[in-house]
Amino acid sequence: MRREEFTTHVDTDELPRLTVSFAGTTDVLRERLAEDGQSPDASDIDVSYRRTPADDPGVLGVAHRLTGEFAFEAPLASSDLHSLVDATSRREEGDRRYQLRIEPGDGDPVVFEKEALLVYDGDGNLDREHSLIPGGVEL
Cα dist from 70 to 1, 66, 98, whole Å: 11, 11, 20
| pLDDT 10s digits, 43-77 | 999 999 999 887 689 999 999 998 999 999 999 99
Helix (H) or strand (E) holding 119: strand 118-120
Summarised one tens digit per residue, pLDDT across range 95-136 is 999 999 999 999 999 999 999 999 999 899 999 999 999 876
Per-residue pLDDT at 89: 95
Q: Is the pLDDT of residue 137 over 70?
A: no
pLDDT score of 32 more than 60: yes
Q: What is the average per-residue pLDDT within 17-24?
A: 97
Better-scored residue on pLDDT, 18 or 93: 18
Predicted confidence at residue 110, as pLDDT, reads 94
- Where do the domains of the chain lie? 3-130
Question: Which uninterrupted H or E stretch holds 75?
Answer: strand 70-76
pLDDT computed for residue 139 by the predictor = 54
H-run or E-run covering 45: strand 45-50
